[in-house]
Amino acid sequence: MTPDLRVADGVLELRRPGTRWLSTGWAGGFADAAAAYNVSVPEGFARTDLDAYVAERVGGAGFEAPPTGPALLTGVDMRHARAARAGPVTVVATAGVSNPAALPTGTERPVGVEADAVADGDPDVPEAVADPPARDGTESAGRGTVNVLAWTERRLDDGALANLVAVAAEAKAATLLAATGFPGTTSDAVVVGSARDGDPAPFSGSATAVGGAARACVRDAVRASLDARYAAGDRPLPDSVADAEYGVVTDRDTEVFRP
């Protein structure tokens, strides 16, 4: 039994009763519920009572109220949501990169941006770059974001479900890096779900049926959502953190040692 996907009033519902969910988003963690949600928020969104806000939006769209399953927030309009299905996995994604999180891996720095200045709030750095979103997402919900919701018909234990988060995040990062030059944004989130009545699968790594299908589905759903959003002309795809509305560069020195 595959999940039902419905969109109404800026809310996407992925519904499949009897699912065990794990979310990295707001009020995340494990939950047993019939559905998970992805909610578009308006420009300038500043609500901090997120539980109440999610309940209002999900209920107002005609879905379960108050929702018992996980919900993610994004500044991407749900008309840009795209889904992919392969084998035992279904994935739906929304992708925007107005707040890229760059991770240089060599000695280079992005042109025009001093990463340490970004971290320290240096006034010489453009405001959009020097003002990174809050870690709890309340300041960043309206700024792009790549949200991935993945569901599998196989029954995973909590460890394998957690590993599926890592598999999905890796596929998201690889896809974004190839398409945009950034591995992610400052507010990306992943929700994964596993059918409690499915055939058991002990593992979810990249070489398994679940993990392999999840990687392919995340890749195609994220790429299709990026194409939909930026091909529609909503806004240009940023060439660098300096060109983006918001964003951060992680480029600091660390102490590397042998344990």
Give 89-119 pLDDT, tens digit per residue: 999 999 999 899 999 987 554 444 444 434 4
Residue 259 has a pLDDT of 96
Residue 168 has a pLDDT of 98
Residue 185 has a pLDDT of 95
Residue 8 has a pLDDT of 98
Is the pLDDT confidence value at 61 over 80? Answer: yes
Give 202-219 pLDDT, tens digit per residue: 999 999 999 999 999 999
Residue 108 has a pLDDT of 52
What mean pLDDT, rounded, does the chain reach? 87
Q: Which range is least confidently modeled, 130-134, 181-185, 215-219? A: 130-134
Residue 25 has a pLDDT of 96
Q: Look at the block and give the residue holding tokens 């595959």.
A: 2
**Which among 131, 103, 110 is positioned nearest to 119, based on CA atoms?**
131
Residue 199, judged by CB atoms within 10 A of its CB (0-12, 13-18, 19+), counts as exposed
- What is the pLDDT confidence band of residue 245, given thresholds at 50, 70 and 90? confident
Q: What percent of the chain stands above pLDDT 90?
A: 73
Q: What count of residues does the chain have?
A: 259
Is the pLDDT confidence value at 145 over 80? Answer: yes
Is the Cβ–Cβ distance between 122 and 138 less than 8 Å? no
Q: Concatenated DSSP letters for 113-154? A: --HHHHHHT-TTS-HHHHSPPPTTSTTTTTS-EEEEEEEESS
**Which among 101, 45, 106 is positioned nearest to 75, based on CA atoms?**
45
- What is the pLDDT confidence band of residue 236, given thresholds at 50, 70 and 90? confident
Peptide bond into 66 cis (omega under 30): yes
- How far from the centroid of its chain's Cα atoms is residue 20's Cα? 18
What are the boundaries of each domain within the chain?
A: 4-249
Mean pLDDT of 67-93: 96
How many other β-carbons are positioned within 10 Å of the β-carbon of residue 259? 2
Mean pLDDT of 18-38: 97
Residue 115 has a pLDDT of 40
Longest dimension (CA), the chain: 57
Q: Which range is least confidently modeled, 24-38, 170-184, 221-235? A: 221-235
Residue 116 has a pLDDT of 41
pTM reported for the whole predicted model: 0.86
Mean pLDDT of 46-68: 94
Is the pLDDT confidence value at 120 over 80? Answer: no
Is the backbone of residue 25 left (phi > 0), alpha (psi -120 to 50) or beta?
beta
**Which among 131, 125, 132, 127 is positioned nearest to 110, based on CA atoms?**
125
Is the pLDDT confidence value at 34 over 60? Answer: yes
